[in-house]
Structure 1
């Protein structure tokens, strides 16, 4: 077109930019941006939306914002494009702030606006913000919009309120595949395996909606979190044979994790060998975790070797193998792995847990004493420990992989970050209030046992969202049935 001497305009550029977005062609997109500036179309909202989308797809969110700020007369589509750019690139706070600015400047949010900001709230499990947006969308008359409701189903499921997600799911006028997937995956991540599989059967039989690859990720995840070994095998075969869905890395990871948890480590390794694509770090990490659970040192060493090739700077992999050696009492090998970490300048991720109380997030590290109410927190833990021991609690120091005395191990476990967060939640909220604690690492075995005792003693539901899944503790039981 340019060779024929024709100048592109505000109809041409959006289509060309859309092609750049589809290909993530950043350099070509920058060249076209230069051409946009030379032809003075940069202030056009359609061209601007196209440029924002290119930069967002290529991870250049600051460039996208620069384009947005240079357009004087913005419309709703442009605001939505910039909000989506923040959301897609892991800037949830900026997305929510921009949404507020949009409303403050008199623009009426659309269905696309609400779906984006609700999804953003789900990604960070920012329940108070999500509930605020929920109320705002209802006040704006969007309660009958199934797309908004489906986004809310996903948000509430990811934020720990799976019962609310179910109520909204039941209210949907038309349940599309994305709606079924959101609810099935929600049940799966919370460990409600029976409910997830029952809903899957209902989707196939009553609604006659054919599942896709995302549906089976949810189903296999539910089997994994519920310890349903045979069911997981059946659904994996069903996906391939009846629905002709080619397994993705996610499906393989779920199956290998399930096999590993169940002690079928040789079968898990064979499945890796049979994969139709190259296994990624998630696959080998699932096998390594299974080796830790069942103390298989030899296969664990092999898994770590593969992980080091893929992620040479991930300290967590070295820590996991060191823990496998420690479990087997092979302290010299454990020390060698930790020395290797030191030599390579790698540091273990620090465990951190956080809880939101009255709109403020409170974060805790292991052994933390920096909180203003630290004395009260430790006093509460001391009180709880006495009541727990009376109820039959016996500390398990196995999660402490250091060659030290048991008393020292016990002191290390009792001040884990999730316990500090729970103690703070107990002294900061009225009796009966549900607590939601998020942790950046996996909950250890002793804390899992302790929280079961605590939930019964204080008569509260305590929800822990760790790096793997949700745990719902209530009346001395956990939704995972001690399988995670």
Structure 2
């Protein structure tokens, strides 16, 4: 519970105070460290583990290596599964390894690993490869991954969105437009970016570009002020990552309406009603939050607050211009 709320310190305290720890307890604590970007602490804890690990243990270990870019350590752990522990790697473990290799730029190695898998790759494996292609602008393998995803999950927008993003980030806006038209023609809808924040035991939802919140005008006004203040200390809107072929000022307007920025401002408007006296702001998000990382880093320093964002992949702790992921997205 503490892990899901963003408090790794409380999770550790509860774990250490537990007298009789079963495998579920060990795996939960290992996973907690990984989700919060503490791979070294997780590996140290694994060395203390006095129970036989299972498949879930190794998913947690490999995920931690993935979040921290520890390629060699991830490969060592993957190889040790069968050689040392007699555990045959399953789809989840292969997906982690594909992600570890691909995100580190070893996309060819990731492709080769997929070709050697003793079972058919599932959508998670292909999604991992596609994400790496998106990060590194690899078009050829991205097309293969998208084709596989369309066959397996025809209603999933991920393949269309990622392929469109790859084309757009390379300045190939015509191809990106073709992909978006194909997606719309297939009736597939992109998952909207949503963020949530709790104030006075009530959860408030914000949608990117949405105006449904009853205090939206006040939120936008305060956000405009905050952006102006951050501009003075070096904030530059992430327009390089805004992917449409539109004018610079319109890209900035798109970035202005990101859901997590609105959630942050709403928290500031209600900081007296937040936990820890408003010194820690916790935001939940349904998709990965790459575009607002620089904004959150600068905001954490300017506001002198810790901002914790739980996206679809992991927790990001922003404090004093630094993110716990060390910018390894």
Task: Give the TM-score category using the shorter length.
Answer: over 0.9
Assess if the C-alpha contact under 8 Å between 1:354 and 1:362 holds in 2: yes
Q: Tell me the distance in 2 between the aligned counterparts of 1:432 and 1:418.
A: 16
Q: Is residue 301 of structure 2 the alignment partner of residue 456 of structure 1?
A: yes
Q: 1:352 aligns with which of 169, 172, 194?
A: 194
Secondary structure in structure 2 of the residue aligned to 1:157: coil
Q: Is residue 22 of structure 2 the alignment partner of residue 180 of structure 1?
A: no
Secondary structure in structure 1 of the residue aligned to 2:308: strand
Once the two structures are overlaid, the 10-residue window that deviates more, 365-374 or 220-229, is 365-374
Q: 1:328 aligns with which of 170, 173, 184?
A: 170
2:212 aligned residue: 370
Runs of 4+ in structure 1 displaced over 3 angstroms?
A: none
Deviations 1:357-377 (A, max 9, x none): 111111011123332222321
Secondary structure in structure 2 of the residue aligned to 1:240: helix
Q: Is residue 318 of structure 2 the alignment partner of residue 318 of structure 1?
A: no
Q: Tell me the distance in 1 between the aligned counterparts of 2:213 and 2:155.
A: 32
C-alpha displacement at 1:158, in angstroms?
A: 2.2
- In structure 1, runs of 5+ residues without a counterpart are 1-154
C-alpha displacement at 1:411, in angstroms?
A: 0.8
C-alpha displacement at 1:333, in angstroms?
A: 1.2
2:252 aligned residue: 410
Deviations 1:293-343 (A, max 9, x none): 000011111111111111111112111101101111111211111111111
Q: Is residue 239 of structure 2 the alignment partner of residue 397 of structure 1?
A: yes
1:465 aligned residue: 310
Secondary structure in structure 1 of the residue aligned to 2:6: coil
Secondary structure in structure 1 of the residue aligned to 2:298: helix
Q: Is residue 144 of structure 2 the alignment partner of residue 298 of structure 1?
A: no
Secondary structure in structure 2 of the residue aligned to 1:482: coil
Q: Tell me the distance in 2 between the aligned counterparts of 1:232 and 1:158.
A: 24
Assess if the C-alpha contact under 8 Å between 1:432 and 1:459 holds in 2: no
Give the paired residue count.
325
Secondary structure in structure 2 of the residue aligned to 1:156: coil
Deviations 1:223-249 (A, max 9, x none): 001111111111111112101111111
Q: Tell me the distance in 2 between the aligned counterparts of 1:225 and 1:181.
A: 17
C-alpha displacement at 1:468, in angstroms?
A: 1.1
Secondary structure in structure 2 of the residue aligned to 1:200: helix
1:22 aligned residue: none
> Equivalences for 1:227-246 in 2 at 5 Å?
227-246=69-88
Secondary structure in structure 2 of the residue aligned to 1:282: helix
Q: Tell me the distance in 1 between the aligned counterparts of 2:299 and 2:256.
A: 13
Q: Tell me the distance in 1 between the aligned counterparts of 2:185 and 2:166.
A: 20
Q: Tell me the distance in 2 between the aligned counterparts of 1:432 and 1:419.
A: 16
Q: Is residue 4 of structure 2 the alignment partner of residue 158 of structure 1?
A: yes
Assess if the C-alpha contact under 8 Å between 1:341 and 1:347 holds in 2: yes
Structure 1 or 2, whichever has the larger Rg, is 1
1:240–1:398 CA distance, 2 compared to 1 (3 A): farther
Q: Tell me the distance in 1 between the aligned counterparts of 2:301 and 2:81.
A: 40
Q: Tell me the distance in 2 between the aligned counterparts of 1:317 and 1:422.
A: 30
Assess if the C-alpha contact under 8 Å between 1:259 and 1:267 holds in 2: yes
Assess if the C-alpha contact under 8 Å between 1:459 and 1:475 holds in 2: yes
Q: Tell me the distance in 1 between the aligned counterparts of 2:47 and 2:226.
A: 43
Deviations 1:101-132 (A, max 9, x none): xxxxxxxxxxxxxxxxxxxxxxxxxxxxxxxx
1:103 aligned residue: none
Q: Is residue 140 of structure 2 the alignment partner of residue 307 of structure 1?
A: no
Q: Tell me the distance in 2 between the aligned counterparts of 1:424 and 1:339.
A: 35
Q: Tell me the distance in 2 between the aligned counterparts of 1:175 and 1:337.
A: 51
Q: Tell me the distance in 1 between the aligned counterparts of 2:194 and 2:312.
A: 11
C-alpha displacement at 1:441, in angstroms?
A: 1.1
Instruction: Report the aligned-residue RMSD.
Output: 1.2
Deviations 1:10-60 (A, max 9, x none): xxxxxxxxxxxxxxxxxxxxxxxxxxxxxxxxxxxxxxxxxxxxxxxxxxx
